[in-house]
Amino acid sequence: MKKAYLPYLLVLAASVLGSSASAQPYPLEADDRRFAELANEGRYAEAYALAESAPERFAHWYAYLLFHTVPPKGTYSVGEATVRAAEHACRYREVNLEAAAYCYRTLALILRWKDQDPRIAQALPGAKLPSLSPSEVDQGLQALAEKGVSLAVYYRNPSKTEVLEGLVRERPYSLGGQLAAGALANHLWERGNRGGEMVRYALLAPGVSSWAGGVLSWAEYFGQGVKQNREAACSRAAFWAPRSASGPALLTLALCYWEGAAGFPKDPIEAYGILWYGKDVSGAPDFRTYLAQLEKVLRPEQQMEGRRRAANRFP
Amino acid sequence: MRRTASRRLLLLLLAVLLAPFWVPLARRFYQESPLSEGRLRSALTACAQKPTSEAAFLCYREAVREAARAKGARWAAGACARVGDPLCFEAFAQEAPNDTWCAYAREHGWFPYKACLVATCRK
């Protein structure tokens, strides 16, 4: 008689345990802070190791670093990185709300580009991704934004300054808060408002947000709001420029080549190519000003060589 | 004498009447001739010699437009690839009315295709 009840008791215990696990979804604030601090110090190997020690708790961070091909684990090509990041985030979307938001975000990108970008189409066969329609993905992200999940709030309000400021103020170490800090720094840079406020935002997320990293590289190059440090500026710009659409990272990298700063080879042709590429990425007038200066000294065939190099260098 | 003149007039009239048939044929022959291809290619190559990227872009745009009109968009994309200047593909992309042109750009690598996608997305 007693033995007959045992399976029922086990099922009951499992359901109680199961429901308590889903009632406490990740991430935890302390985990976010720990990971963000490691990444912002450029300690990516340790950050990856931390994420691998508890994949469900750090799934959103791990997927984000993969997407941006941050070494040592992010060794994929662009299309593959997008698909692998989506796979990782989606695998943990039931237990980690930020991972769910990142899953929806990357799925939206894949659905938008899979028929047009051959790099994504090539990476898709064999990928384990949830089968969702664009409207389901959109609704999923919206529902998470309404719950206040930082990444969903960020992706739903990319240009609403007051929403981004709120994220930075209330949850500075969440992934959404970190990206919001970078977006605010970049908005200020693009608008030519390049003072202390811009640098303060950039300093919050220079190793997480490519925009924050790009702005900080520019500030370090010119000693604007931080101590001038061209070595740090050039290596930071070289890291973020090919991984993002950061105007200040591209501008700084171009200057590193133009002036041969921080051990970079003095190469005005390379600088010209980066500026030429950057003028379409950023609306800042700096690009056209510097391009005009270089066009006075470079012959047409040198300019063409610069454009060729840039077209091959940036994805 | 009068007979020869009337014959000439008759021939001229015939040529005018048959113009809808022979003019397109002649145009097609001219377009497919190596002479025309050479002229269109030189026009594109000359753009690379412009002193600024802005001047080069405007020049490419004109040349691409003419090449696409005369020889078709696929030929124009191939001509840009021969010049080897990404700016030529940017001009091609800006002229692209739709995704069909992007398919031709795609045959010449990622950058031409990306430039075309970006340009058509902006339209």
User: pLDDT tens across A264-280, in order?
Assistant: 999 999 999 999 999 98
User: pLDDT tens across A211-231, in order?
Assistant: 999 999 999 999 999 999 999
**Interatomic CA distance for residues A5 and B37, integer angstroms:** 88
Q: What is the mean pLDDT of chain A?
A: 93
- Strands annotated E in B1-123: none
DSSP 8-state assignment for residue A26: B
Cβ proximity of A211 and A235 under 8 Å: no
**Interatomic CA distance for residues A186 and A155, integer angstroms:** 16
Find all residues with CB under 8 Å of A137, minimum gap 6, and list them: A104, A107, A108, A111
Q: Which residues of B touch A300 (CB under 8 A)?
A: 48-51, 56
What is the amino acid identity at position A111?
L
Please state whether the predicted TM-score (pTM) of the whole model is above 0.90: no
Q: Which residues of A touch B51 (CB under 8 A)?
A: 295, 300
Q: Residues 15 to 44 of B: which have CB under 8 A from any A CB?
A: none
- B19 has pLDDT over 60: yes
State the pLDDT confidence band at A303, using cuts at 50, 70 and 90. Answer: very high
The pLDDT of residue B27:
60
User: pLDDT tens across A30-78, in order?
Assistant: 999 999 999 999 999 999 999 999 999 999 999 999 999 999 999 999 9
State the pLDDT confidence band at B11, using cuts at 50, 70 and 90. Answer: confident
Chain centroid to Cα A17, Å, comes to: 35
- What average pLDDT does this structure show over B62-68? 95
State the pLDDT confidence band at B2, using cuts at 50, 70 and 90. Answer: low
B85 in contact with A, Cβ within 8 Å: yes
The pLDDT of residue A2:
46
Only one residue has tokens 């405007």, namely B58
Cβ proximity of A262 and A230 under 8 Å: yes
Q: Which residues of A touch B117 (CB under 8 A)?
A: 116-117
- Give this complex's ipTM: 0.77
